């Protein structure tokens, strides 16, 4: 039986014009200004100004990649993100993702995306990864997949932790969305983790998780907004007085969502 190849999964050139990517960045910058989003970007200097690196971000909303890219833009860099093939199959978005040379990930054939990411690192690019793989409904960090740490060790490149907080209030899972203006969005880029000579993938991944937990706590602690009322507590973690589910309950909700709608865009 023939296997259908998703749009955007064919190999793309490693180098070439970034005109589409920069054009899309300008559009998002205009939209962000129109919405009056209040960005607090810290640690952008930790994004390498040149050369390859893996950027590992937390995943709480559908716009996380745009916010991480926003922080990297301060360093004049573009990030090639790993994203599900289902995103590349969307009529307009898929064509843009392909033109920007992001990396389609088919969960059944992940090795191809991994090889593509290594090729991009060899070409001096920044590769963006969400080690949790899917959006966290607890807003706290889920267990990490090994890919981000594996790529960093495989190519001996820096592993840069990044956390975003507040972006989930704009657009995330379970129908949560808002067109509210002047939404604060915090982005913190941590110091790069350099793989040790004898460090294993699991050890580096655990070190990354610990570092990102600290960054996320700092982002939540210093976020300049509070819930307006009890109904607005959905965007705060359970251990911060919010109504978000605890990680164990969130994991059950994740499984139920996959069973209900499939492993699509989350």
Task: Specify the CATH number for the domain of residue 216.
Answer: 3.40.1130.10
Measured between alpha carbons, how far is 107 from 113 in angstroms, rounded to an integer? 9
- Size (the chain), residues: 266
- The 10 Å CB-count burial string (b at 16+, else e) for 7-34 is bbbeebeeeeeeebbeebbeeeeeebee
In a domain, 251, yes or no: no
Domain that holds residue 192: 38-229
In a domain, 3, yes or no: no
Phi, psi of 89 (to 5 degrees): -90, -10
Kindly give the confidence (pLDDT) of every residue in the chain, 266 residues in length, as a single tens digit, with 9 standing for 90 and above: 333 333 333 455 555 569 999 999 999 999 999 999 999 999 999 999 999 999 999 999 999 999 999 999 989 999 999 998 888 999 899 999 999 999 999 877 778 999 999 999 999 999 999 999 999 999 999 999 999 999 999 999 999 999 999 999 999 999 999 999 999 999 999 999 999 999 999 999 999 999 999 999 999 999 999 999 999 999 999 999 999 999 999 999 998 987 776 655 45
The dihedral formed by the CA atoms of 111, 116, 117 and 119, expressed in degrees to the nearest 10: 130
Contact yes or no for 9/104 (Cβ under 8 A): yes
81, containing H or E segment = strand 79-84
What is the predicted pLDDT for the residue at 226?
96
Domain count, the chain: 1
Measured between alpha carbons, how far is 15 from 13 in angstroms, rounded to an integer? 5
What is the predicted pLDDT for the residue at 11?
52
List, in order, residues 6 or more apart from 57 with CB less than 8 Å away: 64, 65, 68, 128, 129, 130, 161, 162, 163, 164
3-state secondary structure 140-180: CCCCCCCHHHHHHHHHCCCEEEEEEECHHHCECCCCCECCC
In a domain, 154, yes or no: yes
Please identify which residue in the block is written with the tokens 């309950």. 249
In a domain, 18, yes or no: no
Phi, psi of 11 (to 5 degrees): -65, 140
What is the predicted pLDDT for the residue at 116?
94
Three-state secondary structure call for residue 126: strand
Q: Rounded to the nearest 5 degrees, what angle is found at the Cα of 87, between the Cα atoms of 139 and 235?
A: 20
In a domain, 47, yes or no: yes
Helix axes 147-155, 110-122, angle to 10 degrees: 40
Measured between alpha carbons, how far is 234 from 241 in angstroms, rounded to an integer? 10
Spacing of C-alpha 226 from chain mean position: 24
In a domain, 11, yes or no: no
What is the predicted pLDDT for the residue at 3?
30
List, in order, residues 6 or more apart from 215 with CB less than 8 Å away: 161, 162, 163, 188, 190
In a domain, 186, yes or no: yes
In a domain, 33, yes or no: no
Measured between alpha carbons, how far is 70 from 212 in angstroms, rounded to an integer? 18
């Amino acid at each position: 039986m023939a296997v259908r190849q998703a749009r955007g999964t064919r190999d793309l050139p490693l180098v070439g014009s970034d005109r589409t990517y920069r054009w899309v960045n300008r559009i998002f910058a205009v939209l962000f200004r129109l919405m009056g989003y209040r960005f607090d970007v810290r640690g952008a200097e930790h994004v390498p100004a040149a050369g390859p690196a893996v950027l590992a971000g937390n995943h709480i909303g559908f716009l996380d990649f745009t916010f991480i890219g926003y922080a990297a833009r301060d360093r004049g860099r573009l990030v090639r993100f790993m994203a599900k093939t289902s995103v590349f199959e969307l009529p307009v978005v898929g064509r843009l993702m392909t033109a920007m040379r992001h990396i389609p990930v088919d969960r059944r054939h992940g090795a191809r995306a991994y090889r593509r990411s290594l090729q991009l690192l060899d070409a001096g690019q920044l590769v963006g990864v969400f080690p949790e793989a899917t959006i966290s409904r607890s807003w706290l960090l889920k267990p990490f997949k090994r890919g981000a740490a594996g790529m960093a060790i495989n190519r001996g490149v820096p592993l840069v932790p990044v956390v975003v907080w507040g972006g989930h209030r704009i657009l995330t899972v379970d129908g949560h969305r808002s067109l509210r203006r002047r939404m604060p969005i915090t982005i913190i880029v941590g110091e790069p983790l350099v793989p040790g000579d004898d460090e294993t993938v699991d050890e580096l991944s655990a070190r990354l998780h610990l570092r990102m937990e600290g960054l996320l706590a700092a982002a939540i602690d210093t976020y300049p907004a509070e819930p307006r009322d009890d109904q607005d507590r959905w965007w705060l973690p359970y251990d911060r007085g919010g109504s978000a589910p605890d990680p164990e309950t969130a994991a059950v909700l994740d499984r139920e969502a996959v069973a209900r709608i499939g492993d699509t865009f989350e």
